[in-house]
Amino acid sequence: MRTVTVVGASLAGLYAARALRAQGYDGRLVIVGGEPHRPYDRPPLSKGFLTGETTEPELALADAEEEDELAVEWLLGVRARGLDARGRTLLLADGRTVATDGLVVATGARARPLPGADGLGGVHTLRTLDDARALRDALAGTPRRVVVIGGGFIGAETASSCAALGHDVTVVEAARLPLLPQLGPEMAGFCAGLHRRGGVRLLTGVGVLALHGRASVTAVELADGRVLPADVVIVGIGAVPETGWLAGSALAVADGVLCDGGGVTALPQVVAAGDVARVGGVRSEHWTSATQQPAVAVRNLLAGRTVEHVRPAPYFWSDQYGVRIQFAGRREDGDTPVLVEGSPEEASFLCRYERAGATTAVLAVDRPRAFVHARRALARTGESPVPAG
């Protein structure tokens, strides 16, 4: 291959570039990014960046020395708008084209918008650096009435940061408990308690009917008729994979780019990785997926066929209200959480999820060393449950 193009100046995109060079590719390497920024770390955006503990330069994922070694041609601030049927020509929004022999799709995902919020001031999503800048500016100065819509990881982390800044915060979650699908009812109940312990009001089992305000938001109306005064609204209701630019191409798209277990698409010269990729039927919006998938996808790209599959050990973490939550494995409905050490009352514990006498997942709250050992034990079994005990 003489030219390989990575679409997405993202975490997955940078890791793909690193993997290409590490695996011996020495041809032309192009990275196209819709944002004007070089790859940056997104997890701090909802945490340290909002509170001022993390500076913008600290978000950079690569320094100047590494960028020189990668020898990348950067095309930033321009979005991809199309891919020809053979996957050999990338069309850019500014009218330019990039001829390429191989393509890595790493366009990630965008924040899911709240219907009816278009054009209303004071309403924010948090996905990009520019989003975080705008929200940080909105939170500067006097205390504000903040309503966070969505109690998932982004919503919870942002609510925690807003509370730390001294704002009056309410979280609205449509499910009966936050993080219920990920953690199950018992442990989701613990996370609900974190909000209350942090001085944040948590309203569950209710949706949002409408936002009120003319130029800027003034209130959030709930489906049960309650109205919450609001100066700032933060929408954290999930993300949508960035696949619109692939319409009309030969790639199959269904809640992400469809790939085999090695990240290879219907075109062998096109692979995908990160939040945008549905690898082996699973799309995972986690930091570890964005860092682990690219090396396998790139190896298959250079081989021209699938020679390796991704063997993920699902893992995520979240920092909320002064505690770190870590989770690994695949919990299913009906799995039973078993406390191994510590206790929820002291907000420091390790538990495992059991199914038919085997461990399917592990959860830790402020137990990093114990979690490392438990996660390694889980990973050693691959996709099989770990025998309990």
For 157-187, how does the pLDDT look when each residue is reduced to its tens digit (9 = 90+)? 999 999 999 999 999 999 999 999 999 999 9
Is the pLDDT score of 388 beyond 50?
Answer: no
Q: What is the DSSP letter of 344?
A: G
Is the pLDDT score of 389 beyond 70?
Answer: no
Task: State how far the Cα of 55 lies from the Cα of 49, in Å rounded to an integer.
Answer: 6
Is the pLDDT score of 383 beyond 50?
Answer: no
For 60-83, how does the pLDDT look when each residue is reduced to its tens digit (9 = 90+)? 999 999 999 999 999 999 999 999
Is the pLDDT score of 256 beyond 50?
Answer: yes
Residue corresponding to tokens 């979240």: 318
Is the pLDDT score of 197 beyond 90?
Answer: yes
Non-local CB neighbours of 21 within 8 Å, separated by 6+ positions: 29, 69, 70, 71
Task: Calculate helix-pair angle for 180-197, 153-164, nearest 10 degrees.
Answer: 10
Is the pLDDT score of 361 beyond 90?
Answer: yes
* pLDDT band (50, 70, 90) for residue 286: confident
Question: Residues 308-323: what's their mean pLDDT?
Answer: 89
- At residue 311, the pLDDT reads 80
Please say whether the beta carbons of 319 and 158 come within 8 A: no
| Cα distance from N-terminal residue to C-terminal residue, the chain | 51
- At residue 302, the pLDDT reads 98
Question: What domains are defined for the chain?
Answer: 3-110+239-303 (3.50.50.60), 113-235 (3.50.50.60), 322-387 (3.30.390.30)
Is the pLDDT score of 199 beyond 50?
Answer: yes
- At residue 57, the pLDDT reads 96
For 79-98, how does the pLDDT look when each residue is reduced to its tens digit (9 = 90+)? 999 999 888 999 999 999 99
Residue 287 CA to its chain's centroid (Å): 7
Q: What is the DSSP letter of 255?
A: S
Is the pLDDT score of 127 beyond 50?
Answer: yes
Q: Are strands 239-241 and 109-111 parallel, antiparallel or unpaired?
A: antiparallel
Count of beta carbons in the 10 Å neighbourhood of residue 159: 31
Is the pLDDT score of 321 beyond 90?
Answer: yes
Residue 205 CA to its chain's centroid (Å): 24
Count of beta carbons in the 10 Å neighbourhood of residue 102: 25
Greater confidence, 287 or 209? 209
- At residue 161, the pLDDT reads 98
Is the pLDDT score of 148 beyond 80?
Answer: yes
- At residue 387, the pLDDT reads 42
Residue corresponding to tokens 């920092």: 319
For 6-52, how does the pLDDT look when each residue is reduced to its tens digit (9 = 90+)? 999 999 999 999 999 999 999 999 999 999 999 999 999 999 999 99
- At residue 169, the pLDDT reads 98
Average per-residue pLDDT in the chain?
A: 94
Count of beta carbons in the 10 Å neighbourhood of residue 239: 17
- At residue 386, the pLDDT reads 41
CA-to-CA separations, 235 to 15, 115, 124, 134, 147, in angstroms, rounded: 29, 11, 6, 14, 9
Non-local CB neighbours of 261 within 8 Å, separated by 6+ positions: 279, 280, 306, 309, 310
Please say whether the beta carbons of 289 and 45 come within 8 A: no
Please say whether the beta carbons of 148 and 167 come within 8 A: no
For 105-117, how does the pLDDT look when each residue is reduced to its tens digit (9 = 90+)? 999 999 999 998 9
Residue corresponding to tokens 């461990």: 359
Strand segments (E) across 89-195? 89-92, 97-99, 102-105, 109-111, 123-125, 145-149, 168-173
Q: What is the DSSP letter of 217?
A: E
Task: State how far the Cα of 154 lies from the Cα of 179, in Å rounded to an integer.
Answer: 11
Helix (H, G, I), strand (E, B) or coil at 325: strand
- At residue 48, the pLDDT reads 96
The predicted model scores a pTM of 0.92
